[in-house]
Amino acid sequence: MGEIKQRLGYSDFDARYGYDQLNEFCRQNLQRPIPEHPFELLQDGIERVSLLGSDYCRKLRNMIDLDSVFLKQRAFKVHTLTNILNRELDDRLVAYFHSEYLPLWCGFEKSAAGNRNGHSFRWHCDEGPSKHLLLSLCLNGTYAHGDTIEFVERGTTDAFKRAGYVSGDMSEPTLDLVRRATGYGVDWRPRRLEMAAGDGALFEPANVLHRGISPAHGSRYMIEVCLVPSPAPWQEMCAYYAVPSTSADWPLVDDAWPAQVLATAEQVA
């Protein structure tokens, strides 16, 4: 993605773009207790969460169909995120990051049936900092289109890493991947999340092997949100910086991110 096609390791990415410093700074500036709960996210690197009501999902689907200009406005994205980032999700994010968090980018999507050839539909881990999360939030349920996400938990992904297989891009046909798992002595048991409207898959895209399942019929409506550590509550950061961005390439916002946060964080922390 972007300018890092050279397949940097995750620790190299963190050091090169300043995320190791950002992570530490954010942890030191947390002003509230870390929730103590055995969330699935902490154990497996992925968890299904219920976030939005069906009526609100219907409203957003209608706006996507109309290609509403509001969807592209940062103020509307921030408003939508106030409904998504509820107490249940907030606890998981603080427990995961040990800090506040920030929605770095946010996008509304509609996908029709038939697209099965993209990178997202093959087993892979995403590039990016080692400590970031992706929220894939469904605005209509799996029953409406047949699409969902399939994954193996963090422990199985780690087994591939220890075998030297995992790099920035692990995209490979499923049959070949199963053969590799057998050769590595890895217990290959993918899980598939069935989602209702308003449910989201919250997961570590850099640390959990995953792939999308293409819609079999109808259209899939969803919101994707990338979350990273923050030195201050996300509402304050969104008022201070041009986030959430519309870009999904690393480094996000511009080449100065997150250096610009580290340079000015004390003003908002």
Q: Using CA atoms, how far apart are residues 188 and 190, in angstroms rounded to an integer?
A: 6
The answer to whether position 211 is within a domain reads yes
The pLDDT value recorded for residue 83 is: 95
The answer to whether position 74 is within a domain reads yes
The answer to whether position 249 is within a domain reads yes
The answer to whether position 30 is within a domain reads yes
Domain count, the chain: 1
pLDDT digits over 66-109, tens only? 988 888 899 999 999 999 999 999 999 999 999 999 999 999 98
The pLDDT value recorded for residue 138 is: 93
The answer to whether position 82 is within a domain reads yes
The pLDDT value recorded for residue 4 is: 28
pTM (two decimals) = 0.86
The answer to whether 52 and 83 have CB atoms below 8 angstroms apart is yes
The pLDDT value recorded for residue 14 is: 85
β 191-193/148-151 pair status: antiparallel
CATH number at residue 138: 2.60.120.10
The answer to whether position 72 is within a domain reads yes
Residue 69 sits in which domain range?
A: 13-267
The pLDDT value recorded for residue 3 is: 31
The pLDDT value recorded for residue 145 is: 65
Q: Which residues of 167-191 are buried (b: 16+ CB within 10 A; e: fewer)?
A: ebebeeeeeebeebbeebebebebe
Residue stretches of the chain with pLDDT short of 70: 1-11, 113-120, 144-147, 163-179, 215-217, 248-249, 251-257, 259, 264-269
The answer to whether position 260 is within a domain reads yes
The answer to whether position 8 is within a domain reads no
The pLDDT value recorded for residue 52 is: 94
